[in-house]
Structure 1
Amino acid sequence: MIDPAFHAAVHDGEIIAVRPPRDLAAAGIARAAVMLCDDVTIEVAPLVNTIAEMRRPGFADFAGIGLFRTEFAILGAGRFPGVDEQVENYRLIAAAMPSKPVCFRLYDIAPDKPVIRRETNVFGARYLVHHPSVLDDQLTALLILSAERPVDILVPMVESASDWQFIVAHASLCADRVRELAGSAVLRYRIGAMIETRRAILAMSGFSGASFVSVGSNDLAADLGGRLRTESGYDPRVFHEPLFEKALDEIVVAAHRLGASVSLCGAAADESDAIRLAVRSGIRRFIPSVAAAYAVYPSLGER
């Protein structure tokens, strides 16, 4: 239930005031959403790297886990875990939100993450396409979990319809195998796409079957500006450039044509002015860092 104490005033789509009671803010108690005075609700579902982050007081009050970075579990491990090990790990994560959405991003192999089996210039969804056994093991583990509870599966940095269709087809094959092993169990899962580059925006019309898309603001801002992510990913100014705002508008339109919802993650979801910009573009679900979920959203709009 949305706490009625969290209200905001909105003018022309811009949040101009959100103030929770002082005792709640001081206690760091999280809330799932901010109710706007024009009946618009903003959901807050943090991005999580480790199980330890979910142990903070009030964490279960959020709207779910907006994105769990599964690749962090293998950093430095020297191997990809098997299906059974993954299932147990994912059960532990999902247990933090027993009745709310939990989104697991498939392994996001990227240049700034020193993981095993990294290949030059093969990252994100491309890496999974090039390593179908890694993809199948992870999909199988998540689909086994989906027989127990709803699961959202997010495809990382997908830039082409062919890569998207390859991964969706593998998910369907893995689902058939899980049903055979589990006695025709009902699998409750959705698949979404991570939109992080201009190429991804242009390819979105081919992402049929996507239930949701998540905007990776750091990589998107860097790509639009022709910069390396390490040069621009955490500078709030990049999220106020016209190209970034235009890209958000285009993503929202393309997602609506797919019948998909849109969320914003990355550093832009941690920065109050960028959040307001995203609200104006029509985004209503935000995936901030755990720290920002506690610190930024309760005071959103205060100037």
Structure 2
Amino acid sequence: MTDHVSQPRLLLRRLHSVMASGGKAQDKLDRVVRVIAQNMVAEVCSIYLSRAGGILELFATEGLKEEAVHQTRLRVGEGLVGLVAERGLPLNLSEAPQHPRFVYRAETGEDIYHSFLGVPVLRAGKVTGVLVVQNVTPRKYRPEEVEALQTISMVLAELVTSGELVDQEELAEDATDIGEPVRLDGMVMASGVGAGIAIFHQPQVKITKTVADDVDEERVRLEDALGAMRLQLEEMIQHPDLAHGGEHREVLETYRMFAYDQGWQDKMHAAVQSGLTAEAAVNKIQQENRARMAKIPDPYIRERIADFDDLATRLIRIIQGDESNYRTQLTEDSVLIARNVGPAELMDYDQQYLKAIVLEEGSVTAHVTIIARAMGIPVIGRVSDLLTHVQTGEHIIVDASSAHVYVRPTEDVIESYRSNLEIQEQLFAEYAAERELPAETLDGERIDLFMNAGLLVDLPSLDNTGACGIGLFRTEFQFMVSPALPKVDEQTKIYKAALDAAGDKPVVFRTLDIGGDKQVPFLPRDEEENPAMGWRAIRIALDRPALLRFQLRALLYAAAGKTLHVMFPMIAEVAELRRCKAILNKEILRLKKFDKEPPVDVKVGCMLEVPSLSWQLDILLQEIDFLSIGTNDLMQFFFACDRSSPRLADRYDLLAPPVLAFLHMIVQSCHEANVPVTLCGEMGGRPIDAMALIALGLKRLSVSPTSVGPVKRMIRSVHMGQLRDFMLSNIKSPEHSIRDSLTHFAKDHGIKV
């Protein structure tokens, strides 16, 4: 094997010659395994292809018994071949029979072979087969030998995916009958409703030539294309829609950084040097990147797959001179259907007609989701088998309020959608008309409604809803999309933009609440059995004080000449709060030392999310200017109930008497100490829950922008005296929940919930 691995170009040309010759595909495959075995000095070369139902079938071999061809079958995950297919990564063993996954099939006669090297045959990011070489002598194949076999497998993918060996329809056996209406469920990633014809995002490009005639010429083609792609990205950064900056601009800045990644470029150049064309080299490296990154547990890394897919596709199109602009030639309302989309690719679509996006993959923190949210495009992701249920041109309705996607909807669904949309638009118009009206009960009690935010694109909602201010500005999002710790000046720009947009209205900034399910790429992490209760939020900040110090510095800079409201999350004891305040005070002194303009005032608060803090309320309320109750975390700790567990999702009700009694105690303590208290969890955004909260004495709620209108309408239809009497008579009920009783009360008293 060692004598010829230094001549990969010769082997590639021989394989290309075999595949370009006439004859049946099976005959070509038989010749291919002989050529590979001879040129790589392997006693065995075998090719297994994917069949329907997750089966791998031996299609050709040189060295194993001929009678095993088309007879030996393994499930994905079974045996060493199945393991390669399952992982999508190479497997290199010097003693294959000793591996715990080794499966002996007597009909193959492979028991005499010790060394094993298997690589996946990848196409469009999916494993379509496995290429294996084996030797009798125990040996670990060298990295360059593994690389050579991976290159061969990429060329081999042309023959494997031609449809002559395995009918492609067989591999789509799970597809539904076209024409039948289907409702698909997924995860809401950007809210909204949209409808239109299905258009398929086409990230894969057809590569017709894989073997280079002139390596030097291919190297020049690759370099020229890289330069052209970088120029495109520079122009994209200057897009007028991104001129005001914010997280979505930062996303593209990060994306541009990926395009300049030296490691990525070096791998592509090495692939060209091995004898591939420029476009085949780009495709090979991307297939390997996708397979490797998909197995990494870090969610941030996995979410970057789409970014590199986007870059690779863009680069291949430039190499091939493909200047098609199908994305900008939409002529009617359309819904984009894709496995995933890169952020730069999304920018190519005509925003006038792009009404929604539906993805098989995706996440709420993926770059494309951030861009879509900034553009006001609804997104539903994690839709299983999406691409097998939809065809181009079919009517799609995307309802991100319920996470439903309707494919080929029936007339009654279409009519219901139209009716719901009309009702929604009418309600929005009514809420907008009421935006200047105070959130005041029928008997004259005023409730201050604030809104939660985390993106600059959320800020226009402050005026649109008539909210009193931002009761919770989540600062962690900027950190979650950045590959490195954002610099102080970068943070300052975001915070200043939020303050400027709010004008005279207050903005309450929560310091970093990272960790748990909100990981950042620049901090090492350990696996935790209970991440929600682990190393997160203020615990990270106090262990890594530079993080907190730089963030507080940026907040102080941004609030120059204004009032700064800052609060600390996940405080479990007053001692932690005092440590945070000490760091803040040092940063305030630093402003004076460097003659920087300070805020006119700094208001300090904390989140009540950990129940232990409630037993120090008397001390705590002497230390802070305001308190925020974060019911999302507080209630899961209160009930010892994982809110992400499907089995427990409906087990406990937030309108349970113990919850209401606990919250009543906190609110009363704050009133007695004359400390403003706000509830900023999701509980406050549901009108029936908000009814209970204001009856307990809460005068301030911070909710999502879309909840301001409905909650205000509820408040304006309530007689507080009647509601408070009802609540206090039920707060000690032994029932599981008083939700039904409260709902009946609302109905009986004409309260709009």
Q: Please, what TM-score do these two structures have when normalized by structure 1?
A: 0.84
Match of 1:9 in 2: none
1:285 aligns with 2:717: no
Match of 1:241 in 2: 656
Deviation at 1:256, TM superposition (A): 3.5
Matches within 5 A, 1:66-85: 66-85=471-490
The one-letter code matched in structure 2 to 1:150 is T
After superposition, the C-alpha distances for 1:150-195 in whole angstroms (9 at most, x for unaligned) are 1210111111111100001111111111122235745411011101
SS at match of 2:677: strand
Matches within 5 A, 1:95-114: 95-114=500-519
Seen in structure 2, the aligned counterparts of structure 1 residues 251 and 79 have a Cα distance that, compared at 3 Å, is farther
1:201 aligns with 2:201: no
The one-letter code matched in structure 2 to 1:163 is E
The one-letter code matched in structure 2 to 1:214 is S
Matches within 5 A, 1:66-215: 66-116=471-521, 117=523, 119=525, 120=528, 121-182=534-595, 185=598, 187-207=600-620, 208-215=622-629
After superposition, the C-alpha distances for 1:227-263 in whole angstroms (9 at most, x for unaligned) are 0132489869621011211221121133345442111
Deviation at 1:22, TM superposition (A): 7.9
Distance of 1:211 and 1:62 partners within structure 2:
21
Distance of 1:113 and 1:199 partners within structure 2:
23
1:49 aligns with 2:463: no
Indicate if the aligned counterparts of 1:45 and 1:287 stay in contact, CA closer than 8 A: yes
1:251 aligns with 2:666: yes
Distance of 2:650 and 2:472 partners within structure 1:
22
Distance of 1:92 and 1:54 partners within structure 2:
9
Seen in structure 2, the aligned counterparts of structure 1 residues 32 and 62 have a Cα distance that, compared at 3 Å, is farther
The one-letter code matched in structure 1 to 2:488 is V
SS at match of 2:658: helix
Identity across the alignment (%):
23
Distance of 2:606 and 2:661 partners within structure 1:
19
Indicate if the aligned counterparts of 1:42 and 1:284 stay in contact, CA closer than 8 A: yes
Indicate if the aligned counterparts of 1:156 and 1:193 stay in contact, CA closer than 8 A: yes
Match of 1:35 in 2: 440
The one-letter code matched in structure 2 to 1:122 is W
Seen in structure 2, the aligned counterparts of structure 1 residues 118 and 286 have a Cα distance that, compared at 3 Å, is farther
Match of 1:302 in 2: 752
The one-letter code matched in structure 2 to 1:170 is I
Deviation at 1:29, TM superposition (A): 5.5
Higher relative contact order by CA 8 Å / sep ≥ 6: 1 or 2? Answer: 1
Distance of 1:23 and 1:140 partners within structure 2:
39
Seen in structure 2, the aligned counterparts of structure 1 residues 126 and 64 have a Cα distance that, compared at 3 Å, is same
SS at match of 1:189: strand
Match of 1:272 in 2: 687
Indicate if the aligned counterparts of 1:70 and 1:106 stay in contact, CA closer than 8 A: yes
The one-letter code matched in structure 2 to 1:276 is M
Indicate if the aligned counterparts of 2:512 and 2:537 stay in contact, CA closer than 8 A: yes
SS at match of 2:494: helix
SS at match of 1:192: strand
The alignment covers a number of residue pairs equal to: 283
Return 196-205 or 283-292, whichever deviates more.
Answer: 196-205
SS at match of 1:287: strand
SS at match of 1:148: coil
Distance of 2:581 and 2:443 partners within structure 1:
37
Deviation at 1:44, TM superposition (A): 0.8
Deviation at 1:76, TM superposition (A): 2.8
After superposition, the C-alpha distances for 1:81-121 in whole angstroms (9 at most, x for unaligned) are 12111111101111121101111100012412122326452
SS at match of 2:556: helix
Distance of 1:25 and 1:89 partners within structure 2:
32
Indicate if the aligned counterparts of 2:609 and 2:631 stay in contact, CA closer than 8 A: yes
1:260 aligns with 2:675: yes
Q: Note the aligned Cα RMSD (angstroms).
A: 2.7
Deviation at 1:284, TM superposition (A): 0.6
Seen in structure 2, the aligned counterparts of structure 1 residues 29 and 221 have a Cα distance that, compared at 3 Å, is same
After superposition, the C-alpha distances for 1:112-141 in whole angstroms (9 at most, x for unaligned) are 212232645211221211111001111111
1:63 aligns with 2:468: yes
Distance of 2:616 and 2:549 partners within structure 1:
24
Distance of 1:95 and 1:292 partners within structure 2:
23
The one-letter code matched in structure 2 to 1:229 is R
The one-letter code matched in structure 1 to 2:566 is I
Distance of 1:154 and 1:87 partners within structure 2:
17
SS at match of 1:67: strand
Indicate if the aligned counterparts of 1:28 and 1:58 stay in contact, CA closer than 8 A: no
Deviation at 1:283, TM superposition (A): 0.8
The structure number with the bigger radius of gyration is 2
Distance of 1:196 and 1:57 partners within structure 2:
25
Seen in structure 2, the aligned counterparts of structure 1 residues 23 and 104 have a Cα distance that, compared at 3 Å, is closer
Distance of 2:669 and 2:524 partners within structure 1:
32
Unmatched tracts of structure 2, length 5 or more = 1-425, 529-533, 716-750
SS at match of 1:239: coil
Deviation at 1:209, TM superposition (A): 2.3
Indicate if the aligned counterparts of 1:60 and 1:96 stay in contact, CA closer than 8 A: no
Return 82-91 or 204-213, whichever deviates more.
Answer: 204-213
